[in-house]
Structure 1
Amino acid sequence: MAPNGTKRRKLAHSSDENSSQAPAKTQKAFFKNAASWDLEQDYESRPRKGKKKQQVVKESNRLPTKNVDGRIEVLRELENEIDSDEDWLEGREDDVEEVEQVEEKTVKEVDERSEQEQILEAQEELAKLAMAVNENPEDNVGAFKQLGKIGSSKIPAIKILALMTQMTVYKDIIPGYRIRPLGEDSGKEKLSKEVRQLRHYEQSVVMGYQAYVKELTKCARLQPFAYGGHGPNVVSAAVTCACTLLTSVPHFNFRSDIIKILVGKLSRRYMDANSKKCLEALETLFRDDEEGRPSMEAVALLAKMMRAKEYQVHESVLNLFLALRLLSEFAGTASHDSVQRTEKASKKKRDFRTKRERKDVKEQKALDKDLQQADALVSHEERERMQSETLKLVFATYFRVLKARVPQLMGAVLEGLAKYAHLINQDFFGDLLEALKDLIRYSDKDANGDNEDEEQQQQQEEDEDEEDDDTVRNLTRESLLCTVTAYALLAGQDAHNSRNTLHLDLSFFTNHLYSALLALSTDPTLENTKPTGVTSTTSKINVQTTTVLLLRSLTAVLLPSWNIRSVPPTRLAAFSKQLASAALQLPEKSCQGVLALLNDVAHTHGKKIGSLWNTEERKGDGKYNPVSGNLEGSNPFAATVWEGELLRKHYSPKVREGLKMLEKSMSN
């Protein structure tokens, strides 16, 4: 036991020496630093407290412990009494206010940073999902729902990114066929694993695409103040996506919903950037459509929209019908309520076939039908039926506008009727010509100011639509287009063979054109490339100048394509003399066109009008009346074409050359 006690004493002695040296060093450092202390300032900066805390000595249940020196200590705990709410808040009001201000600033900074971080995070997530779908769409069908979930964000930048990303994804993965809905018995069928997986993928694509189209419809109808004033940007993105999908995948599901988005943007009197996108998309659809059903759906929705708006739409909307590809390939004729098809070669006399041959032909037809369905081809009969329905919708719209005499749409309607005149049913010619005559009569009244009520109504409409300059009515253009349309009706489908039975009289249009020549020659806007009432930036169709329309009308009257030799001499002489007089006032290019037309007339009917240039062959008696309202009452053979002497001294060399060619033709 002694050795252990000796060792204990030595350890205790060494520890006492260390403990005695430690307080000496601490005291020395304390006195050295005490001179620099500022006790008053420390006391002043110390937080105030209310009541002193009461300390309660509480006995501890812990066991005694031995410290480093070997002493045994009993641990006791001091339990501090909890301050009351008043004592705790006393002296801390200023600190709380400062903390609240700091917290508000921090929240704002976090919000600003969080929106930018959300945009970056959304970009990364959209790129990741799009890449996964493009690499293997069948194994990533859940990405469609995730893309739509990101697109439901309230941040406009994320919204636009999601819409554009989904458009690109669906454009790439949509198959080349329309996905049919599953039947009720689809779950009971025994299918292979590959077929079941393909059906699941197709239904996932259809469901995701349907949700996306609904989101596009919702975004396209947003107000400008939506999304904190960023509504127009979201609307523009939605319209761009809809236009791209319609032109890229017009065969896929929910095509009608996409067309409704575009038609809704065209239901206004003025055209903006989104409306122009819709016009270009629908025009592309009409030109590239080989099936016929997309065009028919679009025409039906356009006709329904215009009828609901009482045809108060822009002229470019109606000019979309001129881009229809199917109408240029249709072989029948139609009106606004009926269609007459041409007889087919199948109605010829049947060849004799044996029973075996008839059976083989029947089997071959069934096989061809199955192959057409497998290749998603449209039969000739189905395509022709859709063409007929489209044609009826177009003519019904034209006839309603013509009957309602909508000012800003008259030029577009007449241009369309002139283009599709060969498709109009012959039995409807009489009613159409009467409508054209009424239009010219009302145009003359509006031009002369005989109808004050209509003038007041037109002035009121112009005051309401001051922002739209395209509503200005060009009465001269309307009358010329009426004449072109009337003569174009007889140019197609052998209509001239039945004009005697239909009792078609075009003398009204001929006399009106003759009496309008002198007034047209003094029109200062005759050669304008942008005629009144047409905006070249929004309509690439129906922008011909008044001179071009005049030459088209004169060609139809003097040189008809269906029977060029049947023109009476009085008409030829009256128009030749009137055109020679009008050429003196016409601009240079218009004068060249009129002289070229007279040269063609002289080359074809030189013997009938030769007396106008040779006084020795003069046939008429009496006086010439150039302002007569009746063409035959003008007595043209009593006059001579003396205007050639003045045109020979014209300042333009091309006009002088044209006159020489005309005189040369007449001398032959």
Structure 2
Amino acid sequence: MAYGRPAKRRRLSPPTDLKSVSGTIKSIDLFHRAAEWDLEQDYEQRSRLNKQRETTKLPIKTAEGRLERQQEIPSQDDESDSYLGTGSEADQGGADTPPTEEAEEPSHVPLKHQLVAAKEELARIAGLMNEDPEEHIGSFKKLAAVAGSTAHPNVKKLALATQLAVYKDVIPGYRIREYKDEDLGTKVSKEVRQTRQYEQALVTGYRRYVEELAAITKAGAGTEETSGLKLVAINCACALLLAVPHFNFRAELLRIVVDQLSSRLPTPYFAKCIQTLEDFFDADDDGAPSLEAVGLLTKMMKAKDYRIRENVLSTLFHLRLLSELSVKSSTSKTDQLDEIPIYRGKKTKAKWQPRSKKERKLARERKAVEKDMKEADATVTHEDRSRMQSETLKMVFTAYFRILKLGTPHLMGVVLEGLAKFAHLINQEFFGDLLEALKDIVNESSVIDEEALETKDNEDIFEEIPSTRNITRESLLSIQTAFTLLAGQDVSKSASALHLDLSFFSSYIYKTLYQLSLDADIELGPKSLHLSDPHPSSKANSDHQSRNKVNVSTPMLLLVRVLTSILLTPSAPPPTMTAVAFYKRLLTTSLQLPEKSSVALMSLLSEVAQKHGRKIEALWYSDERKGDGSFQGHSESIENTNVLALGSGIWETELLRHHFSPRVRKEVADIDKLIRGLNR
């Protein structure tokens, strides 16, 4: 067998035959059939490549409890190395091309979409704050950012209401002092540092929120949207003032409310601010909040020269002043409830329990500390509260006296009722000056009445008299205030030293009884001279007016109160001549009064007959009269009436027995029965 390299085989091309026809297509024929090609159809049928890969990852649950899908960040490849072109050329072309106007204009989002997005964002932030506010202290700034200056007014309303709900929930029950830089830089534990950071963020955010409310309320009314935003801001301030009156920036909230009361024009939020102040005074147990509020109110009144509405001054009636202190309480200590239960007048002993020596020692130390804390707390609370209430009372009386001096017509009724309400708190040294001021009011009313009667045909006199001023009502309120000043006061011993004489007021009432009985509006108050509106414009305003009981007393009610003070005061019984003269004239006036007024007056006369029957029985029996001369029923003074003289007697009861009201007939029968039963 021969070994060696095998021979290389070569492939030989077939022999060319010039006569044979080639099977290839000639170029001429190829281009002639190009019109029959369908190249676009093949291109359209190709599948398009998807450059973005579809993510198939499952959603995850975040720390806030929301389900979110993971999104892959697309890879940013450098297309400058692509075969389509270089990056430098693209940059040069982009630099030379000016920016289009469409890229500069922001995309317009519909208001409906803005509200939906704002609601979702506010709900998310509020949920985080409600879950754990200390872990999300940055949410205070996020809430404020939603109500930015560029936001729509409707979005701002939502943001303000959301912040109100959040702050009402997260504000603690104590006042937070603002930490200084050195306080924050001190070395403390982790928990204390975290608490300080949270409190600092809370106070800062709350201050910005209150400042924003103040800025919105100070703005003008403007459009309807601006007015609605202002109304929402005032409602938020009122809600915060009632919900967290102990917290920081209370004075700023009070200033917002008080500023809205300075306007004399009716506003949609006036009744809301009035009701807020009344509830604020009613809920004050400390005295400091009321002191701040009264200080701002009196300052505003003085700046307006007391040209304010009557409702503003009536809010002072809700102050919880020194009248709430117990009569038996001491000035050096406060009343404490007994911790040990009392059974049948004796203190029961607690059940004995075995304790070790160490436990008894700790119990004694704890008891001593608790005793010291209670004594210190009671002393400070009593002293501070008394001091603050005294300052509040001083400012209230200063405002009342200035209004009396100015003689503001529409405020006289409220001032006189306020003086009567706080009369027991006025120092006896000021009784003389106050009674002189009340006498001046009564004298002024009598002078105006005389001038009006003498010049009925002269219209100039009536033009000078303000239409809003009720002279008769002011005089009755002044007399009621004068008698209330001495009611409950121990002035029997010091009456001679103070020269307190109320006979002037009694004589004035006796003189005006006939005139009052002929008054057609004696049963109508200053706010009830017309029927109430069945369709009020605002439910809040109607509710507030229905609850407002200030300066609404009718002249008949004031008259009954004054007569009760004159005839039925236990500490100062009336003289016989005064009791008889008033009784005779009241029976005469009862014939002219309406039914309700007659019933009230006859009830009063029945009480007088029960208490002073011996003094007035001479009117029924002529043999017991000791007067000389004739009876002068038209006289204006008690002495000149000569009620026990000849010609006088009780003939009015015969007419009252036939009165159309059964209650009046019953009262007259009871009076006659009482008089007959006096030793007869």
Matching residue of 1:501: 497
TM, length-normalised to structure 2 = 0.74
- Of 579, 585, 600, which residue of structure 2 is paired with 1:572? 579
Task: Quote the residue 1:642 is aligned against.
Answer: 651
Q: Does 1:221 align with 2:203?
A: no
Query: Equivalences for 1:241-256 in 2 at 5 Å?
Result: 241-256=236-251
Contact in 2 for aligned 1:487/1:556 (Cα 8 Å): yes
Q: Provide closer, same or farther for how the CA distance between residues 141 and 369 of structure 1 changes in structure 2, counting only shifts above 3 A.
A: farther
Matching residue of 1:425? 427
Find 1:396's aligned residue among 380, 392, 398.
398
Whether contact under 8 Å (2:322, 2:386) holds in the other structure is: no
Aligned partners of 2:169, 2:248: CA distance in 1, in Å? 15
Aligned to 2:319: 324
2:478 matched to which residue of 1? 482
**Gap change, CA 1:459 and 1:26, over 3 Å in 2:** farther
**Paired residue for 1:53?**
none
Aligned-pair identity in percent equals: 43
The alpha-carbon distance between structure 1 residues 272 and 497, as it changes in their structure 2 partners (threshold 3 A), is farther
CA drift at 1:184? 5.4
- CA distance change for structure 1 residues 629 and 342 in 2, over 3 Å: closer, same or farther? farther
Query: How many Å separate the matches in 2 of 1:11 and 1:330?
Result: 130
The Cα of 1:114 is off from its aligned counterpart by 3.1
Distance 1:473 1:296 in 2: 32
Once the two structures are TM-superposed, the CA of residue 2 in structure 1 deviates from its matched residue by 6.8
**CA positional deviation for 1:569:** 0.8
- 2:610 partner amino acid: H
Which aligned pairs between 1:178-577 and structure 2 lie closer than 5 A? 178-183=175-180, 185-225=182-222, 228-330=223-325, 344=331, 379-449=381-451, 472-528=468-524, 531=527, 536=545, 539-563=548-572, 566-577=573-584
- What residue in structure 1 maps to residue 130 of structure 2? 134
458 and 317 in structure 1: CA distance in 2 versus 1, 3 angstrom threshold: farther
Q: Deviations over 1:187-227 (max 9, x none)?
A: 343211111111111111111111111111111122121xx
Letter of the structure 2 residue corresponding to residue 290 of structure 1: D
Aligned to 2:172: 175
Shift in Å at residue 528 of structure 1? 1.9
Deviation at 1:506, TM superposition (A): 0.6
Post-superposition Cα deviations, 1:297-346, rounded to whole Å, max 9, x if no partner, equal 111111111111111111111111111123432579xxxxxxxx997367
- Determine helix, strand or coil for the equivalent of 1:158: helix
Question: Residue 78 of structure 1 aligns with which residue?
Answer: none
Aligned position for 1:63: none
Cα distance change of structure 1 residues 277 and 232 upon mapping to structure 2, 3 Å threshold: same
C-alpha distance in 2, partners of 1:188/1:4?
Answer: 99
Quote how far apart the aligned CAs of 1:536 are.
Answer: 3.8
Structure 2 CA distance, aligned partners of 1:178 and 1:569? 63
Q: Which amino acid aligns with 2:220?
A: Q
Q: What is the deviation of 1:482?
A: 0.8
Q: Deviations over 1:486-510 (max 9, x none)?
A: 1111112313332122110111111
**Aligned positions of 1:614-633 closer than 5 A:** 614-633=621-640
Contact 2:161 2:236 in 1 (8 A): yes
Determine helix, strand or coil for the equivalent of 2:512. Answer: helix
One-letter amino acid matched to 2:192:
V
Structural mapping, 1:147-186, within 5 Å: 147-153=143-149, 154-183=151-180, 185-186=182-183
Higher-helix-fraction structure:
1
Distance 2:464 2:158 in 1: 45
Amino acid at match of 1:212: Y
User: How far, CA to CA, are the matches of 1:473 and 1:164 in structure 2?
Assistant: 43
Residue 653 (structure 1) aligns with:
662
- Please give the per-residue CA displacement for 1:423-442, whole angstroms capped at 9, x wherever unaligned: 11011100000000111122
Task: Give, in whole Å, the separation in 1 of the partners of 2:494 and 2:174.
Answer: 46
**Are the aligned partners of 1:287 and 1:323 in contact in 2 as well (CA < 8 Å)?**
yes
User: Paired residue for 2:673, among 641, 664, 667?
Assistant: 664
Please give the alpha-carbon distance, in whole angstroms, between the structure 2 residues aligned to 1:663 and 1:239: 62
Instruction: Name the amino acid aligned to 2:485.
Output: L
Distance 1:493 1:167, change over 3 A: same
Contact 2:333–2:382 under 8 Å retained in 1: no
Instruction: For 1:3 and 1:572, locate their aligned partners in 2 and report how far apart those are by CA, in whole Å.
Output: 162
CA–CA distance in 1 between the matches of 2:114 and 2:209?
Answer: 21
Structure 2 CA distance for aligned equivalents of residues 438 and 342 of structure 1: 38
1:117 equivalent among 108, 113, 116: 113
For residues 136-193 of structure 1, the C-alpha deviation after alignment (integer angstroms, 9 at most, x for no partner) is 1111111111111212244110111111111111111110000012245413432111
Maintained 8 Å contact 1:517/1:579: yes
Q: CA RMSD in A?
A: 3.7
Relative distance call for 1:400 and 1:538 in structure 2 (3 A) is farther
Any unmatched runs of 5+ in structure 1?
A: 30-98, 333-340, 348-360, 463-470
After superposition, residues 597-612 of structure 1 pair within 5 angstroms as 597-612=604-619
Aligned 8 A contact 1:271 1:538 in 2: no
Q: What is the CA-CA distance between 1:636 and the residue it aligns to?
A: 1.9
| In 1: Cα distance, 2:421 partner to 2:260 partner | 27
Q: C-alpha displacement at 1:579, in angstroms?
A: 0.6
- Alpha carbons of structure 1 residues 608 and 18: separation in structure 2 relative to 1, 3 Å: farther
8 Å CA contact retained: 1:330, 1:387: no
Structure 2 match to 1:351: none
Q: Structure 2 regions of 5+ residues with no counterpart?
A: 1-9, 41-99, 335-363, 531-543
Kindly provide the CA deviation profile for residues 437-463 of structure 1, in whole angstroms up to 9, marking residues without a partner as x: 1111222333444799xx98995896x
Tell whether the 8 Å contact from 1:515 to 1:629 is kept in structure 2 after alignment.
yes
Contact 2:514 2:589 in 1 (8 A): yes
The residue matched to 1:273 in structure 2 has which SS?
Answer: coil
Picking from 24, 34, 44, the partner of 1:23 is: 34
The 1-side partners of 2:262 and 2:22 are apart by: 104
1:422 is matched by which residue type in structure 2? Answer: H
Distance 2:365 2:384 in 1: 20
Q: 1:165 & 1:149 partners in 2: Cα distance?
A: 12
When structure 1 is superposed on structure 2, of 642-651 and 437-446 the one drifting more is 437-446
Contact 1:408 1:472 in 2 (8 A): yes
The answer to whether the 8 A contact 1:555-1:597 is kept is yes
Native 8 Å contact 1:473 1:533 kept in 2:
no
Q: How does 1:102-113 map to 2 (within 5 A)?
A: 111=108, 113=109
CA distance in 1, matches of 2:436, 2:369: 50
Cα distance, 1:380 vs structure 2: 1.1
Which of 577, 589, 603 is matched with 1:582 structurally? Answer: 589
- Map Cα deviations across residues 205-262 of structure 1 (whole Å, 9 max, x no partner): 111111111111111122121xx44222111111111111111110000001101111
The CA distance in 1 between the partners of 2:407 and 2:210, in whole Å, is 37
Change (3 A) 1:598 1:198: same
Give, as a single letter, the amino acid of the residue that structure 1 aligns with 2:331: K
Aligned-partner Cα distance in 2 for 1:10–1:161: 91
1:408–1:473 CA contact under 8 A, matched in 2: yes
